[in-house]
Chains A and B, each alone.
Chain A
Amino acid sequence: EADIYQTPRYLVIGTGKKITLECSQTMGHDKMYWYQQDPGMELHLIHYSYGVNSTEKGDLSSESTVSRIRTEHFPLTLESARPSHTSQYLCASSELGDRNTEAFFGQGTRLTVV
C-alpha cells in the first residue's frame, strides 16, 4: 500500500491567488516528482528532487516552484494562479538506488483557477 498523500484533492481558486499543493510520503524515499496532466493527455514532469535541498526543473516548463526541506515533504507553490494553471497535479516518490525500484503516486490534486 502506497503511503504518499496529496492535499487538497480538489481546489477551485481565483486568479492571482497564491496556492501551495502539499505532497507527503512516509516511505523515506529520496526521489520525489511532480507531474502535470490535462484530461486525456499524457503526464509531464515539471519538478523532481533527489533528496533534501535538491530540486530540478522537469521537461515541461512550469511557473510553479518547489522546495525540499524535509525528506517526506515536497510542496509545490504557485505565487499567482492563472486559468492556464488549471490542470491535475500528481506527486510521486521512489527510492534512490541502483535497484531501480518502482515509483508510488498520490491521488493527485485537481486545480481549477477561475
Chain B
Amino acid sequence: DAKTTQPNSMESNEEEPVHLPCNHSTISGTDYIHWYRQLPSQGPEYVIHGLTSNVNNRMASLAIAEDRKSSTLILHRATLRDAAVYYCILTGRRDDKIIFGKGTRLHILP
C-alpha cells in the first residue's frame, strides 16, 4: 500500500482558512486520494476524495499537485467543530483496504 506523510498536529484560528498538507510521493497512477476526519469520541467520517483534478464539496476543497505527489485539504473557514484528527489515505484497486495512518490533529483556537 502506498504511504502518506502528514504533520502530527496543526493549529488554526477560528474563522480562518486551514490548509492541511499530505505527501504521497509513491502514489501510483490509479490511486485515489481520500480524506477522512475523526471528531472526538466518534467514528471517522468521509470528507472528500479525488484522483487528479481539484475537488470541492460542502465540507472542504482538495487541491492535488500536478505530479500528484502531494495534496492539500482546505477548510475555507474553520470552526471549533472542525477540531479533529484528519487522515489522508490512498486507495487503489477496487479491492484495496482502507489503512489509516496517524493523521494530523487539528486544533482550532477561538
A→B interface (CB under 8 Å): 33, 35, 42-45, 48, 50, 58-59, 90, 92, 94, 96-98, 100, 102-108
Contact A45 B98 (CB under 8 A): yes
Q: Which residue of chain B is the closest to A102 with respect to CB atoms?
A: B46
Within 8 A of A (CB), among B79-110: 91, 94-95, 97-103
A108 to chain B: closest CB distance in Å?
Answer: 5
B21 within 8 Å of A (CB atoms)? no
On whether the beta carbons of A42 and B97 are closer than 8 Å, the reply is no
Nearest Cβ distance between residue B74 and chain A, in whole angstroms? 18
A-B contact pairs, 22 of them (CB 8 A): A33-B97, A42-B103, A44-B100, A45-B97, A45-B99, A48-B97, A50-B95, A59-B97, A59-B99, A90-B43, A92-B43, A92-B98, A96-B94, A96-B95, A98-B94, A102-B46, A103-B46, A103-B98, A104-B46, A105-B43, A105-B44, A107-B43
Complex Cα gap A5–B32 (Å): 27
Residues of the B chain whose Cβ atoms lie less than 8 Å from the Cβ of A45: 97-100
Please, which residues of chain A bring their CB within 8 A of the CB of B101?
A: 42
Residues of B within 8 A of A (CB): 32, 34, 36, 38, 42-46, 49, 51, 91, 94-95, 97-103
The chain A residue with its CB closest to the CB of B96 is A100
Question: Which applies to chain B's interface (DSSP): helix, strand, loop or mixed?
Answer: loop
For A108, the chain B residues whose CB sits under 8 A away are: 42-43
- Distance of A99 from chain B, by nearest CB (Å): 9
Q: Is the CB of A42 within 8 A of B102?
A: yes
B85 (CB) vs chain A CBs: closest residue: A42
Closest CB-CB distance, B100 to chain A, in whole Å? 4
Interchain CB contact under 8 A, A107 and B42:
yes
| A contact residues around B95 at 8 Å (CB) | 50, 96
Across-interface contacts of B102 in A (CB, < 8 A): 42
